[in-house]
């Protein structure tokens, strides 16, 4: 596993991943310029960017479980990049809707955000990603202190759930795709609930053990 | 005061020689991977067999109808044949064009029955010759807030209804689509109940605008557009324009309609195009005309109010959506 370790630690793995994450954008650009998008291209771009936003949210949420399951703590090095790509595709998705589909029509846009539940949750999911993007740097972790930073970044759990609901509420009759993402998000979040409970049990067991051992240690010390 | 500046570059920043020399290989690898992915995606169509289904044939002797809409740019046939909601053939917009290639629409018959004095079955050939075929350019507005302009071919439904002589008990017209799981294996995944059913009030069915349609763009209907015979009701949302009709039944009570069965609070029996009555989940005030960049304002009754508004005077169209 020494080679895997050195691959994960290599700067070039990060570069490779960075370029790989641009592949969906590359595919989209290719489709736009070769007429590969159908008669309603704006809708197709919205769906494409939306799909990749929720995929990157899931991929980002998968890093922590995979670190533990695969015993590869080095995977943490990629989490920030993946999270920022989720924000990137989310921004493309939002901008397409805001600037191209609705062409900056603030009146219609704000009405939609307020009156259409699926847009309300989608907009909220996106807005919640903004503070996460802003506080993504190492400098920010230092400035905020880990506890505060951790608290802010837990918002991704809400974004993930809202993203699934956004998708579920916009489809006409075929609910299979949003429900599939829902299943993935559920597994990723339940894993965290599971480990939190397990670690809580461990902590409780530790405290109980120390409480039992401490009296005997005091005796021998004297 | 000595201001220490961090050195711009250190030895650690130097790209390792092996990686630098390999950069072109890296790009080549990316390119090959991209091409391989493209090839893999397109492989199925390379091995596909020739389609065995019905194909459109030219229609001769078609005259321009007096009910044709003028002043609209006709949507390219390429768009109208590759952007379809025909869930029996898949729920994606490009699915029917791919999956309906083997749909066989010969022989075909339409049974006209129910509260009529002379119920009978019409073969497709008989339907084609009941009245002179007219071309009618109509706007077509989907409930999803996109629209097209199509030169449909057919004649008023009233022609066939008058032939079978509805009795005084007939108040509504019910329609039923073809459904066969062998020809439509994706049907069970449609999410909606099949066979597809629709309905109109008798006066709506007798309105001259209501078109019994057998063709478009100078030819018979392509499979994905509802071959071989369908309805076109231009002042209502597109889902009311039922495709591939096999049965027309005159009934005394309001008949069930597929989308209303699926989501009664979202799709009403009337479903007249109305910018003032929103779909519960999205606005109907604007629409995307395919091919245009800016959204357009939606028109009441899709702009056909002059012909149809009188049927609804006094009705609360918010209640009767």
b/e B169-179 (16+ beta carbons within 10 angstroms → b): ebbbbbbbbbb
Would you call A40 and B288 a contact, using CB atoms and an 8 Å cutoff?
yes
Closest CA to B196 of B141, B119, B267: B267
Taking the Cβ of residue B186 and every Cβ of chain A, the question of whether any pair is shorter than 8 Å is answered with no
Taking the Cβ of residue A174 and every Cβ of chain B, the question of whether any pair is shorter than 8 Å is answered with yes
Smallest Cβ–Cβ distance between A169 and the set B79, B262, B281 belongs to B281
Taking the Cβ of residue A26 and every Cβ of chain B, the question of whether any pair is shorter than 8 Å is answered with yes
Q: What is the pLDDT of residue B40?
A: 61
Edge-to-edge strands, sheet with B109-114: B120-123, B109-114, B245-251, B172-177, B197-201
| pLDDT 10s digits, A173-197 | 889 999 999 999 999 999 999 999 9
Average pLDDT, chain B: 91
Q: What is the pLDDT of residue A208?
A: 87
What does the alpha-carbon distance between residue A202 and residue A222 come to, in Å, rounded to a whole number?
A: 30
Q: How confident is the model at residue A222 (pLDDT cuts 50, 70, 90)?
A: very low
Interface A-B: count of C-beta contacts within 8 A: 61
What does the alpha-carbon distance between residue B298 and residue B321 come to, in Å, rounded to a whole number?
A: 16
**SS3 state at B156:** strand
What does the alpha-carbon distance between residue A16 and residue A20 come to, in Å, rounded to a whole number?
A: 6
Q: How confident is the model at residue A172 (pLDDT cuts 50, 70, 90)?
A: confident
| pLDDT 10s digits, B200-228 | 999 999 999 999 999 999 999 999 999 99
Would you call B281 and A118 a contact, using CB atoms and an 8 Å cutoff?
yes
Taking the Cβ of residue A35 and every Cβ of chain B, the question of whether any pair is shorter than 8 Å is answered with no
Residues of A in contact with B286 (CB under 8 A): 108
Q: What is the pLDDT of residue B239?
A: 97
Integer angstrom CA distances of residue A1 from A16, A17, A65, A201, B19: 20, 20, 19, 31, 22
Q: What is the pLDDT of residue B49?
A: 63
Half-sphere exposure of residue A144, counting CA atoms within 13 Å on the CB side?
A: 18
Q: Name residues of chain B where pLDDT drops below 50.
A: none
Q: How confident is the model at residue A206 (pLDDT cuts 50, 70, 90)?
A: confident
Residues of B in contact with A116 (CB under 8 A): 281-283
Would you call A115 and B278 a contact, using CB atoms and an 8 Å cutoff?
yes
DSSP for B284-315, please give it: -SEEEETT-SS-EEPPGGGGTHHHHGGGGTT-
Q: Which residue has the tokens 């039992």?
A: A212
What does the alpha-carbon distance between residue B118 and residue B164 come to, in Å, rounded to a whole number?
A: 5
B209 within 8 A of B235, measured Cβ to Cβ: yes
* Nearest chain B Cα distance for residue A66, angstroms: 26
Provide mean pLDDT across the span A198-222. Answer: 75
Taking the Cβ of residue A169 and every Cβ of chain B, the question of whether any pair is shorter than 8 Å is answered with yes
Give the CA diameter of chain A. 86
* Nearest chain A Cα distance for residue B192, angstroms: 7
Q: What letter would DSSP give residue B16?
A: P
Would you call B295 and A101 a contact, using CB atoms and an 8 Å cutoff?
yes
Taking the Cβ of residue B279 and every Cβ of chain A, the question of whether any pair is shorter than 8 Å is answered with no
* Nearest chain B Cα distance for residue A186, angstroms: 23
Would you call B290 and A40 a contact, using CB atoms and an 8 Å cutoff?
yes
Would you call A174 and B30 a contact, using CB atoms and an 8 Å cutoff?
no
Bin B74: left if φ > 0, else alpha if -120 < ψ < 50, else beta. Answer: beta
B318 within 8 A of B276, measured Cβ to Cβ: yes
| pLDDT 10s digits, B297-306 | 999 999 999 9
Question: ω into residue A149 within 30 of 0, thus cis?
Answer: no
A40 within 8 A of B83, measured Cβ to Cβ: yes
Taking the Cβ of residue A103 and every Cβ of chain B, the question of whether any pair is shorter than 8 Å is answered with yes
Would you call A101 and B294 a contact, using CB atoms and an 8 Å cutoff?
no
Residues of B in contact with A177 (CB under 8 A): none
DSSP for A13-42, please give it: HHHHHHHHHTHHHHHHHHHHHTT-S-S-HH
* Nearest chain B Cα distance for residue A112, angstroms: 8
Residue of A nearest to B19 (CA): A12
Pick B63-312's CATH classification: 3.40.50.1100, 3.60.60.10, 3.90.420.10, 3.30.1450.10.
3.90.420.10
């Amino acid at each position: 596993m020494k080679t895997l370790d050195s691959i994960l630690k290599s700067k070039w793995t990060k570069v490779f991943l960075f370029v790989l994450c641009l592949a969906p954008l590359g595919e989209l650009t290719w489709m736009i310029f070769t007429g590969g998008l159908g008669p309603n291209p704006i809708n197709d771009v919205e769906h494409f960017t939306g799909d990749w936003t929720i995929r990157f949210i899931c991929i980002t949420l998968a890093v922590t479980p995979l670190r533990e399951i695969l015993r590869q703590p080095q995977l943490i090095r990629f989490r920030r990049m993946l999270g920022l790509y989720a924000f990137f595709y989310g921004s493309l998705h939002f901008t397409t809707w805001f600037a191209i589909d609705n062409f900056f029509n603030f009146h219609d846009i704000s009405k939609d955000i307020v009156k259409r539940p699926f847009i309300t949750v989608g907009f909220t999911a996106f807005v919640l990603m903004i503070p996460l993007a802003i506080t993504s740097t190492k400098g920010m972790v230092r400035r905020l202190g880990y506890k505060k930073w951790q608290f802010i970044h837990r918002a991704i759990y809400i974004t993930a759930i809202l993203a699934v609901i956004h998708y579920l509420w916009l489809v006409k009759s075929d609910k299979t795709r949003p429900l599939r993402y829902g299943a993935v998000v559920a597994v990723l979040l339940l894993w965290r609930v599971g480990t939190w409970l397990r670690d809580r049990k461990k902590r409780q067991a530790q405290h109980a053990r120390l409480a039992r051992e401490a009296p005997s240690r005091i005796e021998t010390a004297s | 005061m000595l201001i220490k500046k961090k050195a711009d570059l250190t030895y650690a920043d130097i790209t390792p020689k092996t990686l630098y020399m390999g950069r072109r290989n890296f790009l080549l690898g990316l390119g090959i991977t991209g091409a391989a992915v493209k090839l893999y995606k397109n492989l199925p169509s390379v091995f596909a067999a020739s389609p065995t289904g019905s194909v459109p044939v030219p229609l001769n002797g078609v005259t321009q109808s007096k009910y044709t809409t003028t002043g609209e740019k006709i949507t390219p046939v390429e768009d109208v044949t590759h952007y379809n909601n025909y869930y029996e053939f898949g729920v994606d917009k490009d699915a029917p064009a791919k999956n309906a290639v083997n749909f066989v629409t010969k022989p075909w018959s339409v049974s006209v029955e129910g509260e009529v004095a002379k119920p009978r079955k019409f073969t497709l050939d008989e339907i084609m010759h009941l009245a002179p075929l007219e071309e009618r350019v109509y706007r077509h507005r989907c409930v999803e807030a996109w629209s097209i302009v199509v030169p449909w071919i057919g004649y008023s439904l009233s022609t066939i209804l008058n032939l079978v002589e509805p009795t005084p008990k007939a108040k509504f017209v019910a329609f039923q689509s073809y459904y066969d799981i062998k020809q439509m294996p994706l049907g069970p995944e449609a999410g909606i109940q099949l066979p597809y059913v629709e309905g109109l009030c008798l006066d709506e069915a007798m309105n001259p605008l209501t078109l019994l349609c057998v063709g478009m763009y100078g030819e018979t209907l392509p499979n994905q557009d509802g071959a071989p015979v369908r309805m076109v009701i231009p002042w209502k949302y597109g889902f009311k324009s039922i495709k591939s009709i096999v049965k027309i039944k005159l009934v005394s009570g309001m008949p069930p309609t597929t989308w209303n069965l699926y989501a009664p609070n979202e799709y009403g029996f009337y479903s007249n195009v109305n910018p003032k009555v929103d779909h519960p989940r999205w606005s109907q005030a604007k629409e995307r005309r395919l091919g245009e960049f800016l959204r357009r304002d939606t028109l009441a009754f899709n702009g056909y109010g002059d012909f149809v508004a009188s049927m609804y005077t006094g009705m609360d169209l918010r209640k009767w959506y």
